[in-house]
């Protein structure tokens, strides 16, 4: 069973929106190819190509497709592939964790980083398939977006109160002094996401690192704490 990358490329070419492409090129600076196809269309394509393939064999085919998409450094192909991978959570295994490490090392923008880390790596983490060694690989990687993934993959676990919240917060404190725009945004996102499930822990974390964190993080997280669980 294979998913034909050429067939999907042809479908994508028919959906290119030049105005959207120009906007995305500004919003998501990247060295990857941006065709200019909107996310709802990418999700639709992913869903259509999954019909009759939600099996272990289909799971393997999707991983091969994502592998090719990342090798091509193509935004739309990668997002189609990651959307196809999401329904296979029950099949996630250590092999996917290893592949995720390969993929993240080749990411050069926040959009692909967040799609991979927020949905795929976070699920691997909560299943115990993304190990301490894997996390340290992200944390210490020379690629900025691998380091961002180290933070972003904690968002869903922190939001759901999964695991040891103090440990998760302690781990992301490693980047408390970071001033890179993409890291600052990721830290703020992770901390704000954890307010609903662990307000006390977040408040204590903020008190401890108030003078170390970027001021925008302190402001945004403080505002979230003051509003409580209201969105």
The per-residue pLDDT for range 3-38, each reduced to its tens digit, is 999 999 999 999 999 999 999 999 999 999 999 999
Using only the alpha carbons of the chain, give its radius of gyration.
18
Q: Cβ(45)–Cβ(114) under 8 Å?
A: no
Please say if the pLDDT value at position 230 is more than 80: no
Domain ranges of the chain: 1-91
The candidate with the shortest Cα–Cα distance to 9, out of 51, 64, 62, 69, is 69
Q: Which residues pair with 88 in a beta bridge?
A: none
Q: What is the pTM of this model?
A: 0.93
Per residue in 115-143, pLDDT (tens digit) is: 999 989 999 999 999 999 999 999 999 99
Q: Report the alpha-carbon distance of residue 125 to residue 190 in Å, rounded.
A: 15
Confidence of residue 229 (pLDDT cuts 50, 70, 90): low
Confidence of residue 70 (pLDDT cuts 50, 70, 90): very high
Confidence of residue 86 (pLDDT cuts 50, 70, 90): very high
Question: How much is the average pLDDT of 56-75?
Answer: 97
pLDDT value of residue 161: 82
Cα angle, residue 189 at apex, residues 154 and 138 outer, rounded to 5°: 40
Q: Which residues pair with 33 in a beta bridge?
A: 74
């Amino acid at each position: 069973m294979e998913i034909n990358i050429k067939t999907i490329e042809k479908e994508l070419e028919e959906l290119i929106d030049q105005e959207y492409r120009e906007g995305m090129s500004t919003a998501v600076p990247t060295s990857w190819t941006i065709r200019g196809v909107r996310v709802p269309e990418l999700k639709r394509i992913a869903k259509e190509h999954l019909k009759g393939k939600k099996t272990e064999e289909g799971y393997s085919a999707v991983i091969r497709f994502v592998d090719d998409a990342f090798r091509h450094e193509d935004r739309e192909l990668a997002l189609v592939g990651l959307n196809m991978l999401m329904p296979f959570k029950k099949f996630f295994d250590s092999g996917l964790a290893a592949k995720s490490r390969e993929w993240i090392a080749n990411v050069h923008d926040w959009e692909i980083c967040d799609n991979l880390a927020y949905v795929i790596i976070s699920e691997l983490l909560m299943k115990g398939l993304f190990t301490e060694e894997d996390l340290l690989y992200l944390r210490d990687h020379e690629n900025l977006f691998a380091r961002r993934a180290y933070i972003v993959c904690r968002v869903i676990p922190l939001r759901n109160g999964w695991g040891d919240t103090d440990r998760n917060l302690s781990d992301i404190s490693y980047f408390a002094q970071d001033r890179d725009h993409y890291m600052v945004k990721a830290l703020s996102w992770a901390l704000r996401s954890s307010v609903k499930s662990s307000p006390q822990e977040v408040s204590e974390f903020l008190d401890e690192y108030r003078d170390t964190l970027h001021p925008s993080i302190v402001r945004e997280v403080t505002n979230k704490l003051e509003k409580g669980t209201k969105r």
